[in-house]
Amino acid sequence: MSRIAHGAVLALSALLGLSPGGSLKAQTARPDAFSSLTINVGATRFQTDSRLSRYYSPQTGFVVEASTPFELGELALTGERATFTSVGGVNPDFHGTLALLAWRYPTRLFGGVSARLGAHAGVMQFSFQDTLINAGLRKERELVMGVSGSLEARILSRLSAFIMGDYSHVWLHVPVHLARISAGVGYTTPTPGWLRDFLR
Partner 1 sequence: MASGFSQVRRRRVALALLGLALCAGAPALGAQTPIVIRRAEIERSGWNRIAEFLEGAAGWAVSSVDGATFAASPDHLPQPGESAAGTAQWLVFVDDQPVQTNMFGLHLLELLPVTPGEIDSVVFVRVPAVIGGTPAPRGAMRIYTSRHANGSFARLTYEHGDETGDPGPYRYTTLQSPNLEKLGPFAHADLGYAAPSWNLDLGVHFTSLNTTDSILQSRFPGFSSQVPQDVMTVAPTLRGELHAFGRHTLLAGYGEQRGLLLVPTTTREQSLRSQATSVGIGGALDSIARTVIGYQAAVWSADVRELDSPLPFTIGHRRELGLASVDAQRAFGGATIAAGAGGYKWRLAQNGGTRTRTAAREFASVRTGGARLSLVATGVLVNGSRGTTADALGSVNVAIDTSTALTISAATMHEHPDIDGTWIDAAVLGREAQNENTRFSIGSVGFTRRLAGTLAIGVDARAEHVGDWRLADAPILPVTSIGDASPLEMASGTFAGGGVRLESVGSGVWQGSLAYDRMALASGDSSLRERVHSSPSNELRGQLAAMPVRDFRLTATVDVMDGTAWPGFGSDSATLRVPAISRIDASAEKWLWSRRLRIELLFQNLLNRPERYHPYGAQWNLRWHLMGSLVLPP
**How near is the Cβ of 67 to partner 1 at its closest, in Å?**
15
What is the pattern of x (binds partner 1, CB under 8 A) and - over residues 89-108? -xxx-x------x-------
User: End-to-end CA distance of the chain, in Å?
Assistant: 31
Dihedral sign from CA coordinates of 128, 133, 137, 142: negative
Asked if residue 24 binds partner 1 (CB under 8 A), the reply is yes
Look at strands 176-190 and 139-154 and give their pairing. Answer: unpaired
Asked if residue 171 binds partner 1 (CB under 8 A), the reply is yes
∠ CA 180-186-187, rounded to 5°: 155
**How near is the Cβ of 156 to partner 1 at its closest, in Å?**
31
DSSP 152-200: EEE-SSSEEEEEEEEEEEE-SSS-EEEEEEEEEEEEEEEPPHHHHHHH-
Judged by CB under 8 A, the stretch of 36-44, 83-91, 151-159, 182-190 that binds partner 1 is 83-91
**Which residue ranges make up the site for partner 1 (CB under 8 A)?**
1-2, 5, 8-9, 12, 16, 22-24, 33, 52, 55-56, 70-72, 84, 90-92, 94, 101, 121, 123, 126, 128, 137, 140-143, 170-174, 176, 197-200
